Structure 1
Amino acid sequence: MRPKLAIVPGDPSGIGPELIAKLLQDKRVRDAADILLVGDAHLWHRGAEQAGCAIELRSIDESDVTSFEGVAHLNLQTIDPDDVRIAEVTVASGMTSLRCLDKALDLAQAGKVDGVLFAPFNKAAMTAAGLNAEDEHRYMARYLGFDGYHSEINVLDDLMTTRVTSHIGLKDVAANIDAPGIMRAVELAHVTLARSGKSRPHVAVAALNPHAGDNGKFGREEIDVIAPVVQACQERQMNVTGPWPSDTVFLKAKRGEVDAVVTMYHDQGQIAIKLMGFERGVTVAGGLPIPVATPAHGTAFDIAGQGNANVGATRQAFDLLVRMAITEMKAA
């Protein structure tokens, strides 16, 4: 099955357009999906120039989105070429990011495309342009009118990580660890893995305290909160284990013994997964009604416009999005 994917250039001041130009040079990418480039023509041409390659834009009308094949372009006019400032945070770039994303989400919500891939955004630029949300994931949920549970999922190759708490101070983590939060994080990992083609994923739950609390010596969160959730999952016939000490659970993950790790706080998983392969990391908008993925790194203003951007994470995001979209198509 061949999905249709909308691709958004990301912040034009960063490496996004260059990354997508490099991605499209791979014949395996072009063979895996029908690709719709959503955004201003000059941004795509600029990206190809930065990447040192050629790009052919075959523009189509929105009415033709459901019938095109290969690589096509839906032209928008969101930013004047003279307003693109490489390696600078600008309101104009933030506005472009939002408008291109909005159009891709519109197409997905209307069933005209099967998934959305976006190159890196700059949150400061988007906020200046009116993001009015903690991050793009919450913005997308609000834009889609989705009020169910959703959260950022980090992916490295075949490993996914979800987390119970996210952007809060470390001193507040323990007070925010509760059974419903852990269950939501486990279920999100389980559902997203199934969505990407895993039939019975193994989800490992990390402990909060050193040595998994050492039988209560270093805290009782493992005994009173985490372990009961793991047991409840097992009673539902889910392949969930833990709580595992957080300094060893990623060794199991690295050996391929688990498909996902549920962490208790942001850096508990982020440090491990970025050390294991920052250049291949992917972020999935977990829980949303449509598949959405992006490379986990940022806009890389320090190398923007130089042609040195590494396309590895973008390729990983594309491959995962293809798998997720195909799974959704089969289930429909």
Structure 2
Amino acid sequence: MMQLQVPLVNLAVTTGEPAGIGPEVSIVAAKQFLAEQPNAIITLLGDRDLLEAVDKNHLNASERLQTQAIPLVAPVQAGVLNHQNAQYVINTLNQAIDGCMDGRFDAMITAPIQKSVMNLAGTAFTGHTEYLAGRCKKNHVVMMLCATLPRGFLNLKASRDLRVALVTTHLPLQEVSAALTRERILETIQIVQHDLRTKFAIPNPVIRVAGLNPHAGESGYLGREEIEIIGPVIESAKKLGINVSGPYPGDTMFDPASLEAVDAYIAMYHDQGLAPFKFVTFGDGVNVTLGLPIIRTSVDHGTALDIAGKGIADSGSMLEALRLAYQLALNQKKKA
């Protein structure tokens, strides 16, 4: 019986804030991933001298581990931020995005950056998700966190992927309600459903949507967003053939029993979705940007300046981000 050949997948890794743990976890995870996956090539985007200082042998580790050299603007000291290197971080992102858009890379994986440094340098930057949307000329993209929960955890009969998407991302809490328009919520549901089908290869994804207020508004007593906005949008999505339900109270939506059947949960705001997600995933989560013409995954942690340069950073989230990016890219290639 003839065995089908698995296509080669080219992954680009932006190594993040140069003073943080990004360069370290990028190299360690890349080596580990390539050892387990023979059908991948990884290109690290960053300053060659910086990467060699982190791991002097990384360029010789494998012919499938390459570097796309992008020079630093100013010298780097581990754990010490320098806003002069904000443009360097932007350059790594731009080259990875452009490489994905023109087909040189099949997916990009991003190490953590320091938003405060970007803004101090005069670059209005609220996060990777928003920057990618602007660069790819998309008005609406969706942040979704993913992690695999093992068999037995919360009495799961088999391992199960937990996915949590957000309607709003990096907004002050007092601005969330005004941002929850019918159009935005419906587009979020549609983007999640579309990408779960096309990128995650889930034929008929099951989606749960949270309310905004405590007890999902308790019939209007604690707020009317569920009655006037969220509930009607969910009904509209159902009429479009989307397998979606809600609005659920935020404190009960993540019912352990639902994990067996639900493919994605949609929260109204950042901490409503990510606090429970990160509590049960213990730093192994992966951030995926949905609604882009390219594949992008990322770690779910920050720059960890306090341990940068000490060789003790956990590369687990970066490894999972590489694994997921590879699988999503493979799914796309199989469809082509």
**TM-score, scaled relative to structure 1:** 0.87
Match of 2:316 in 1: 312
Aligned partners of 1:15 and 1:299 also within 8 Å: yes
What is the rounded CA distance, in whole Å, between the counterparts of 1:258 and 1:58 in structure 2? 41
What is the rounded CA distance, in whole Å, between the counterparts of 1:247 and 1:118 in structure 2? 31
Aligned partners of 1:40 and 1:79 also within 8 Å: no
Aligned partners of 1:16 and 1:299 also within 8 Å: yes
Is the aligned partner of 1:41 residue 2:48? Answer: yes
Is the aligned partner of 1:149 residue 2:143? Answer: no
Q: What are the residue-to-residue correspondences of 1:163-174 with 2, within 5 Å?
A: 163-174=166-177
Aligned partner of 1:71: which letter?
A: L
CA apart distance, 1:79: 4.2
Post-superposition Cα deviations, 1:224-254, rounded to whole Å, max 9, x if no partner, equal 3222222222222211111111111112487
CA apart distance, 1:85: 1.5
Aligned partner of 1:179: which letter?
A: R
Aligned partners of 2:287 and 2:299 also within 8 Å: yes
Post-superposition Cα deviations, 1:56-112, rounded to whole Å, max 9, x if no partner, equal 3489xxxxxxxxx722222233346xx112111112332221112221122112111
Q: Secondary structure at the match of 1:168?
A: coil
Aligned partner of 2:140: which letter?
A: Y
Aligned partner of 1:151: which letter?
A: V
Match of 1:271 in 2: 275
Gaps of at least 5 residues in structure 1 are: 60-68
Is the aligned partner of 1:124 residue 2:116? Answer: yes
Select the residue among 44, 64, 71 that pairs with 1:70. Answer: 64
Match of 1:161 in 2: 164
Match of 1:223 in 2: 227
Aligned partner of 2:166: which letter?
A: R
Aligned partner of 2:141: which letter?
A: H
Aligned partner of 1:212: which letter?
A: A
Select the residue among 176, 182, 189 that pairs with 2:192. Answer: 189
Post-superposition Cα deviations, 1:134-183, rounded to whole Å, max 9, x if no partner, equal 32322233333x13321322223322222223333333333332321211
Match of 1:180 in 2: 183
Gaps of at least 5 residues in structure 2 are: 1-6, 149-160
RMSD: 2.3
Q: Secondary structure at the match of 1:173?
A: helix
What is the rounded CA distance, in whole Å, between the counterparts of 1:118 and 1:148 in structure 2? 21
Alpha carbons of structure 1 residues 265 and 200: separation in structure 2 relative to 1, 3 Å: same
Aligned partners of 1:10 and 1:97 also within 8 Å: yes
Alpha carbons of structure 1 residues 40 and 172: separation in structure 2 relative to 1, 3 Å: closer
Post-superposition Cα deviations, 1:184-234, rounded to whole Å, max 9, x if no partner, equal 221222223221222221110011222223333333322332222222222
Aligned partner of 1:112: which letter?
A: R
Aligned partner of 2:72: which letter?
A: T
Q: Secondary structure at the match of 1:159?
A: strand
CA apart distance, 1:323: 1.7
Q: Secondary structure at the match of 1:280?
A: coil
Match of 1:19 in 2: 25
Alpha carbons of structure 1 residues 261 and 215: separation in structure 2 relative to 1, 3 Å: same
Aligned partners of 1:57 and 1:73 also within 8 Å: no
Aligned partner of 2:303: which letter?
A: T
Match of 2:151 in 1: none
Alpha carbons of structure 1 residues 56 and 122: separation in structure 2 relative to 1, 3 Å: same
Aligned partners of 1:206 and 1:264 also within 8 Å: yes
Aligned partners of 1:155 and 1:161 also within 8 Å: yes
Q: Secondary structure at the match of 2:234?
A: helix
What is the rounded CA distance, in whole Å, between the counterparts of 2:88 and 2:19 in structure 1? 10
What is the rounded CA distance, in whole Å, between the counterparts of 1:152 and 1:163 in structure 2? 6
Identity of aligned residues (%): 32
Q: How many residues align?
A: 316
Post-superposition Cα deviations, 1:232-279, rounded to whole Å, max 9, x if no partner, equal 222222111111111111124873331211111221112111111241
CA apart distance, 1:10: 0.8
Is the aligned partner of 1:255 residue 2:259? Answer: yes
Q: Secondary structure at the match of 1:147?
A: coil
Q: Secondary structure at the match of 1:120?
A: coil
CA apart distance, 1:28: 4.3
